[in-house]
Chains A and B, each alone.
Chain A
Amino acid sequence: MALSQTGIRRWYLVHKWTSIVCTAFLLMFCLTGLPLIFHHEIDELTRAPKMAENMEGTASLDAVASHARAQEAGWHVLFLSFDDEKPIIYAAIGPTLTAGEDEGKLLLYDARSGQSINAPPFDEGVMAFLLELHAHLLLGIPGQLFLGLVGVVFLVAVVSGVVVYAPFMRKLPFGTVRRNRSSRLKWLDTHNMVGIVTLGWVSVVGLTGFIITMSVPIQGIWQMDELAEMAAPYENAKPPEKLASVDGAVATVKAAIPDAKVSFIAWPGTELSTKHHYMIALAGNTPLTERLISPTMIDAESGKLTDVRDMPWYVQILFLSVPLHFGDYGGLPLKIIWALLDVAAIVVLVSGLYLWLGRRRVPIEQRLAELNSGGALEPQPVLEPAE
Chain B
Amino acid sequence: MSGRRIGAQSGWQIFRWPLLMGLANAIGLVAALVGDGWYDIVSWVTLGATLVIIVMAWRGWSAR
Residue positions of A touching B, CB distance < 8 A: 1, 165-166, 169-181, 190, 193-194, 196-201, 204, 286-288, 320, 323-324, 329-331, 333-334, 337, 340-341, 344, 374, 376
- Name the residue of chain B whose CB is nearest to the CB of A175: B57
Q: Are B34 and A287 in contact (CB under 8 A)?
A: yes
**Neighbouring B residues of A196 by C-beta, 8 Å:** 18, 21
Asked whether A170 lies within 8 Å of B8 as measured between CB atoms, the reply is yes
Task: From known contacts A170-B9, A171-B8, A171-B9, infer whether A201 and B15 are also in contact, taking CB-CB under 8 Å.
Answer: no
Please name 11 pairs of A and B residues whose Cβ atoms are closer than 8 Å in the assembled complex, sorted by A: A165-B18, A171-B5, A173-B6, A174-B18, A196-B18, A200-B26, A288-B34, A288-B35, A324-B29, A329-B33, A337-B48
Sorting the interface of chain B by its residue count into under 10, 10 to 19, 20 to 34 or 35 or more gives 35 or more
A193 near B58 (CB under 8 angstroms)? yes
**Min CB–CB distance B9 → chain A (angstroms):** 6
Q: Is the CB of B2 within 8 A of A177?
A: yes
Q: Does B14 lie within 8 Å of A170, measured CB to CB?
A: yes
**Chain A residues within 8 Å of B57, by CB:** 175-177, 193, 197
Q: CB within 8 Å of A: which of B1-45?
A: 1-9, 11, 14-18, 21-26, 29, 31-36, 39-40, 43-44
Give the docked Cα–Cα distance between A197 and B47 (Å).
Answer: 11
Q: Which of A199, A287, A337 contacts B47 (CB 8 A)?
A: A337
> Cβ of A201 and Cβ of B25 under 8 Å apart?
yes
With A and B bound together, what is the CA distance between A169 and B10 in angstroms? 10
Residues on A with C-beta less than 8 A from B26 are 200, 204
Structural contact, A201 and B29, CB atoms closer than 8 A: yes
* B29 engages A204 (CB within 8 Å): yes
B26 to chain A minimum Cβ distance, whole angstroms, is: 6
A190 to chain B: which residues have CB within 8 Å? 58
Interchain CB contact (< 8 A) of B40 among A177, A330, A340: A330
Q: Which residues of A contact B15 (CB under 8 A)?
A: 166
Q: Is the CB of B54 within 8 A of A288?
A: no
A180 contacts which chain B residues (CB < 8 A)?
3
Task: Identify which of B16, B32, B58, B61 contacts A334 (C-beta below 8 A).
Answer: B32
* Interface core residue of B4, B6, B57 (most chain A CB under 10 Å): B57
Report how far A358 CA is from B32 CA in the complex, Å: 41
Query: For residue A329, which residues in chain B have a CB less than 8 angstroms away from its CB?
Result: 32-33
